């Protein structure tokens, strides 16, 4: 969803629509949010309560505590088609639609074992990795000299609960000078 401004009503509609569209079962949803008015509003809290979901918030005065969002924003910002400015909301939407289709369905992510987000989201990761392994096994059988380190084994994505990023960052400092060590 892309809108002129954020609001609690839009946030509530977006979350409800996404849960219905993705068939997210009750008590499975966790949303990590900033501390903005739209996400702390009663209607969003009530919706999450109705869905049996949980909400986590950014740490106060820390702008980069969600590494997943930060990584996606960096990908957006440095994509060759990202314009310096959008002329209108319609222009932004016209750019975003194909970008996120590419990002979710064509871009292979190293953190996901070179799978796409859509493959992982729809539970097809094991099937794709098995097919990838079969191709690698056949290549290794036909040409073992190509594989100087032995038979290849593609890595699977790290298992991590969505909404539970690893906040530990060695050597980085939070605002105020405290070291950023998380739970």
Q: Which of 89, 109, 137 is the last residue of a domain?
A: 89
Q: Please tell me whether residues 81 and 125 are part of one structural domain.
A: no
Residue 79 has pLDDT above 80, yes or no: yes
Q: Which of 55-59, 77-81, 107-111 shows the lowest mean pLDDT across its residues?
A: 55-59
Q: Please tell me whether residues 2 and 85 are part of one structural domain.
A: yes
Whether 42 maps to a domain, the answer reads yes
Length of the chain: 183
The whole-model pTM stands at 0.66
Considering the chain, what percentage of its residues have pLDDT values greater than 90? 36
pLDDT at res. 181: 34
- For residue 20, the enclosing domain spans 1-61+77-89
Q: Please tell me whether residues 85 and 26 are part of one structural domain.
A: yes
Q: Please tell me whether residues 82 and 23 are part of one structural domain.
A: yes
110 or 66: which leads in pLDDT: 110
Q: Please tell me whether residues 4 and 57 are part of one structural domain.
A: yes
Q: What is the pLDDT of residues 129-171, one digit of tens each?
A: 999 999 999 999 999 999 999 999 988 776 654 444 333 333 3
Q: Please tell me whether residues 35 and 14 are part of one structural domain.
A: yes
Q: Please tell me whether residues 51 and 109 are part of one structural domain.
A: no
pLDDT at res. 70: 77
Residue 179 has pLDDT above 70, yes or no: no
Whether 175 maps to a domain, the answer reads no
Residue 27, domain CATH: 3.30.420.10
Q: What is the pLDDT of residues 81-116, one digit of tens each?
A: 999 999 999 999 999 999 999 999 999 988 889 999
Q: Please tell me whether residues 10 and 48 are part of one structural domain.
A: yes
Q: Please tell me whether residues 81 and 128 are part of one structural domain.
A: no
pLDDT at res. 62: 61
Domain count, the chain: 2
80 or 183: which leads in pLDDT: 80
């Amino acid at each position: 969803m892309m809108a002129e401004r954020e609001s609690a009503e839009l946030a509530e509609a977006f979350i409800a629509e996404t849960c219905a569209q993705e068939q997210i079962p009750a008590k499975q949803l966790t949303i990590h949010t900033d501390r903005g008015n739209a996400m702390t509003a009663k209607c969003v809290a009530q919706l999450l309560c109705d869905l049996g979901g949980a909400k986590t918030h950014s740490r106060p005065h820390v702008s980069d505590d969600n590494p997943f969002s930060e990584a996606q924003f960096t990908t957006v910002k440095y994509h060759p088609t990202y314009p310096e400015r959008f002329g209108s909301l319609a222009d932004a939407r016209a750019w975003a639609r194909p970008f996120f289709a590419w990002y979710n369905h064509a871009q292979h992510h190293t953190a996901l074992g070179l799978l796409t987000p859509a493959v992982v989201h729809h539970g097809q990761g094991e099937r794709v990795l098995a097919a990838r392994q079969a191709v690698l096994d056949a290549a290794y059988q036909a040409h073992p000299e190509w594989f100087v380190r032995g038979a290849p084994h593609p890595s699977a994505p790290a298992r991590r609960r969505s909404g539970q990023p690893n906040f530990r960052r060695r050597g980085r400092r939070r605002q105020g000078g405290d070291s950023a060590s998380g739970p």
